[in-house]
């Protein structure tokens, strides 16, 4: 069984602010006031912004933490409507990639430095750059630990655990996929061994469901009119866009944009959404999308609403993927999962008796199992599962939030990983609201169509009503040791309180009753504003080690950007986090 993907294990660090007055956060303001960059001020080109940000990072080294031997490699350039610029950097030291060395440099409209968000609060320079292990020895160690075939070992700096060390990074491949193993280059200790995929259901949850004999038979949709016109578009040169019909397992009959390859021949590929396509893995565990079999049709009708037709699950997957892409583009102007105008692919019928679905960065695609035939009896192609998992892809492309450690069974722990799961639930829920499909009522419940006895997997309004995973409502110091799906309730609850407020409420026929840990009353600002704040916080002010207190500061900064420091929105963000016991006063000290 595959396990959740993380590229590295990290711990959150706190960096004191100077300009914002928001103590105990990874957002640091200028150390000596605003200084003009050497880059041409006022230029809107990405090259000029990157140059200005890189120059500012070295000029303000005491705040940014960059040092001699460091090189900054731009991963993303974000330009806000009001003019602010943000450049996300990966770091190398003496030519070696730095794990946990990511940072975001913030500039104003004139390219002047305004602050930094950094993952590591310490210098990334290792104590030694001389390895005692050879690359061959490190690869052999990695192969032994991960039980597979090791690729070549490369030297890296591992700056994830409060100090920096010289290490080897090795990719190990087995029949189930790949693992990334990091081996200390001096001591030979395995610093991390992590699978390269993000699963929807944790190993612990699957084991508990099987132990208690729960059989999940997800509720299917009913036949309904498609959500787009299905009439033929007339004669056109090929290939061209087709207007297909998906007869899905879960959301009824829907419209799908397809590719007409010739007269009467169609491919389940959407040319209007970057060429997004769903293929059939046919029971294989391939991580190469090109190895999947294409879905073709002579009728442009996909599936028949039952598992007996292999295209039914494909119709669900294609619908979910394209609706997620549409949500991100319509709401935030994000063009694709990585904001690079590239397709988000999907493969259904992946593996044999796989009771899971996950985002796989190796193939940059969604992989869907058919269920194990016992606990899960249908493919996991539910809409909010797709929205949740593709959001892991968005996090991969932005903050790269990572758990602090993984146990021998593959369960993840730690606040950055829990924040990752929470954001996937938050935006996955928003995909449902965006799609507004009457066969899958938009709600703040996650996995409500999976057929669980408790009627949902997780919920945002009152997370602790989830007894399966033991999801928590609010933060305590022990949250650091909580499995990430259970820990996700802290920020999911804060989001719900920000959007809808505390107390009782009925939305789309679903009853909610959200408590607060401090017995306060929170009046929500609406889902649209709350979602805008959380997205801006993710893309501008979160890094791989951001914990819940860091998320509080990131969302406050985002609210300040969007609505002002004296706004109701800003004040409500603060109240929402306080209501889940995340405050400036109880910010924990950085872990060694």
Instruction: List the end-to-end C-alpha distance of the chain, in Å, as a whole number.
Output: 33
Contact 397, 542 (CB under 8 A): no
State phi, psi for 344 to the nearest 5 degrees: -110, 115
Contact 398, 329 (CB under 8 A): no
CA 75 – CA 53 distance, rounded (Å): 12
What tokens appear for 74 in the block? 């731009």
Judged by DSSP in three states, 547 sits in coil
| 485 counts as catalytic | yes
Residue among 199, 277, 287, 389 flagged as catalytic: 389
Instruction: Measure the CA dihedral 530/325/488/484, to 10°.
Output: -160
Pairing of strands 357-360, 365-368: antiparallel
CA 547 – CA 527 distance, rounded (Å): 23
What tokens appear for 326 in the block? 């549409």
CA 307 – CA 280 distance, rounded (Å): 14
Residue tagged 């914002």 (tokens): 20
Pairing of strands 70-79, 85-93: antiparallel
Residue among 93, 388, 485, 493 flagged as catalytic: 485
Cα distances from 379 to residues 18, 277, 310, 351, in angstroms, run 51, 18, 10, 11
Judged by DSSP in three states, 36 sits in coil
| 389 counts as catalytic | yes
Sequence-separated (6 or more) residues with CB below 8 Å from residue 39: 48, 49, 51, 52, 55, 111
DSSP letter at 541? I
State phi, psi for 118 to the nearest 5 degrees: -130, 145
Contact 118, 12 (CB under 8 A): no
Q: Which positions are annotated as active-site residues?
A: 389, 485
């Amino acid at each position: 069984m595959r396990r959740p993907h993380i590229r590295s294990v990290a711990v959150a660090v706190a960096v004191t602010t100077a300009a914002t007055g928001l103590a105990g956060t990874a957002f640091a303001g200028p150390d000596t006031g605003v200084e003009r960059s050497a880059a041409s001020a006022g230029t809107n080109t990405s090259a000029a912004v990157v140059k200005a940000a890189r120059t500012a990072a070295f000029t303000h080294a005491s705040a940014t933490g960059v040092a001699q031997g460091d090189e900054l490699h731009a991963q993303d350039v974000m330009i806000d409507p009001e003019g602010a610029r943000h450049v996300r950097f990966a770091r190398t030291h003496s030519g070696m990639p730095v794990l946990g060395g990511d940072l975001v440099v913030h500039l104003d409209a004139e390219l002047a430095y305004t602050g930094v968000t950094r993952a590591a609060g310490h210098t990334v320079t290792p104590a030694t750059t001389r390895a005692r292990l050879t690359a061959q020895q490190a690869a052999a160690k990695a192969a032994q630990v991960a039980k597979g075939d090791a690729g070549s070992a490369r030297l890296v700096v591992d700056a994830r655990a409060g100090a920096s060390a010289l290490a080897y990074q090795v990719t190990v491949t087995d029949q189930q996929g790949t693992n990334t193993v990091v081996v200390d280059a001096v001591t030979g200790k395995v610093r991390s061994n992590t699978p390269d995929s993000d699963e929807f259901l944790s190993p612990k949850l699957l084991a508990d469901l099987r132990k208690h004999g729960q059989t999940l038979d997800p509720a299917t949709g009913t036949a309904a009119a498609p959500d787009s016109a299905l009439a033929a578009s007339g004669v056109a040169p090929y290939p061209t866009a087709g207007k297909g019909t998906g007869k899905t397992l879960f959301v009824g009959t829907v419209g799908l944009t397809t590719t007409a390859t010739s007269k009467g021949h169609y491919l389940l590929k959407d040319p209007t959404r970057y060429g997004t396509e769903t293929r059939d893995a046919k029971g294989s565990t391939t991580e190469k999308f090109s190895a999947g079999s294409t879905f073709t049709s002579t009728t442009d009708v996909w599936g028949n609403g039952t598992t007996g037709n292999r295209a039914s699950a494909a119709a669900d997957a294609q619908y979910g993927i394209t609706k997620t892409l549409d949500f991100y583009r319509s709401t935030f102007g994000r063009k694709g999962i990585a904001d690079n105008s590239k397709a988000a692919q999907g493969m259904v019928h992946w593996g044999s008796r796989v009771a899971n679905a996950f985002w796989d960065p190796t193939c940059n695609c969604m992989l869907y199992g058919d269920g194990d035939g016992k606990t899960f009896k249908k493919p996991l192609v539910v809409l909010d599962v797709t929205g949740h998992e593709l959001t892991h892809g968005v996090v991969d492309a932005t903050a790269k939030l990572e758990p602090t450690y993984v146990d021998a069974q593959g369960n993840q722990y730690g606040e950055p990983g829990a924040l990752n799961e929470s954001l996937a639930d938050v935006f996955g829920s928003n995909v449902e609201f965006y799609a507004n499909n009457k066969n899958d009522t938009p709600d703040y419940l996650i996995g409500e169509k999976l057929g669980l006895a408790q009627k949902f997997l997780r919920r945002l309004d009152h997370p602790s009503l989830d007894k399966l995973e033991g999801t928590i409502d609010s933060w305590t110091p022990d949250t650091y040791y909580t499995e990430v799906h259970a820990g996700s309730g802290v920020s999911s609850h804060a989001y719900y309180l920000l959007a809808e407020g505390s107390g009782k409420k009925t939305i789309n026929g679903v009853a909610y009753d959200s408590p607060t840990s401090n017995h306060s009353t929170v009046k929500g600002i609406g889902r649209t504003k709350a979602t805008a704040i959380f997205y801006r916080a993710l893309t501008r002010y979160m890094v791989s080690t951001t914990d819940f207190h860091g998320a509080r500061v990131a969302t406050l900064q985002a609210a300040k950007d969007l609505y002002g420091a004296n706004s109701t929105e800003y004040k409500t963000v603060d109240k929402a986090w306080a209501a889940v016991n995340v405050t400036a006063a109880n910010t924990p000290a950085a872990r060694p």
